[in-house]
Structure 1
Amino acid sequence: MSHSVVQVNLIVSDLARTREFYKHLGWDLLAMGDRAARFSGDDLVVAFHLPEFAQAWDSGYSGARGGSTVIDVDCDDPGAVDATFSSLVENGATSRQPPNDTFFGCRYAVIADPDGNLIGLKSPLA
């Protein structure tokens, strides 16, 4: 029997700041009372990577296993990866992996949101 992933939970310290930050991804977070908010996307994929594979696509990876999950977000094209990366860094994100053309055929970048949750920005190269 296969089980579908229905939700990924990120822990944040300030919902107002989180709502404002994620607007830069085009996410309108809906309130769930005064202690939570949610965004519903179209699709969700969870991948499991060994540490040595993670080091190949995230130069900021420190070798930790727990708490190093990266949620990938699709961008329309390579230019959108660069623009979204810049916008997020200008609005409180920390750069983990600047945009680059990867060995797996994508333009890819990794940022940490203000609470340290990791977001990958991804688009096909061509």
Structure 2
Amino acid sequence: MAPTFDLIGLVVTDMAASLSFYRRLGLDIPPSADTEPHVEVTLPGGLRLAWDTESTVRALDPSWTPMEGATRMSLAFRCEAPEEVDRVYADLVEAGYEGHLPPWDAFWGQRYAVVHDPDGNGVDLFAALPGD
């Protein structure tokens, strides 16, 4: 039997800041989680998304160090309509998060944008364009 993909884990510098960002994207994370060293939520379909503080990761792997330079992963959130991509992007940027690529109509038929979470991870926002 093959292993089952079950969890995406993010290492965070500031748990409360990271969870605040992902709450704005609609994830149901209780406020009490802001002070926890490990937090996880189950997404629709059963996949889990988890956050661990840097100190938690170092407790498990004392040799761990944060990656330098650009991140190598991103998360993508599907929006219902192109207008929602614009609205969510604007909301996040107005809240102080770094907008990386403002919304645009991509050649593959989606309205697309990229914002960075508090740890610099790319978070894509997308929706199908009308007629696609």
* Range of TM-score over shorter length: 0.7 to 0.9
What one-letter code is carried by the residue in structure 2 that aligns with 1:36?
H
Q: Deviations over 1:70-110 (max 9, x none)?
A: 21111110000000001111223211111010011100101
The structure with more strand, counted as a fraction of residues? 2
Paired residue for 2:37, among 23, 35, 38?
Answer: 35
**Is the CA contact (8 Å cut-off) linking 1:32 and 1:38 kept in structure 2?**
no
Structure whose alpha-carbon radius of gyration is higher: 2
Distance in 1 between residues matched to 2:93 and 2:29, nearest whole Å = 20
Match of residue 18 from structure 2: 18
Residue 8, structure 1, aligned to residue 8, structure 2: yes
Residue 113, structure 1, aligned to residue 117, structure 2: yes
Q: How does 1:85-96 map to 2 (within 5 A)?
A: 85-96=89-100
Match of residue 79 from structure 1: 83
Distance in 2 between residues matched to 1:91 and 1:4, nearest whole Å = 36
What one-letter code is carried by the residue in structure 2 that aligns with 1:12?
V
Distance in 1 between residues matched to 2:5 and 2:70, nearest whole Å = 19
Match of residue 58 from structure 2: none
Name structure 1 gaps, 5 residues minimum.
Answer: 45-64
TM-score by length of 1: 0.73
Distance in 1 between residues matched to 2:83 and 2:34, nearest whole Å = 34
Moved more, 20-29 or 109-118: 20-29
Name structure 2 gaps, 5 residues minimum.
Answer: 48-68
RMSD: 2.5
Moved more, 71-80 or 92-101: 92-101
**Is the CA contact (8 Å cut-off) linking 2:103 and 2:113 kept in structure 1?**
yes
* Matched residue SS, 1:88: helix
Task: Report % sequence identity.
Answer: 34
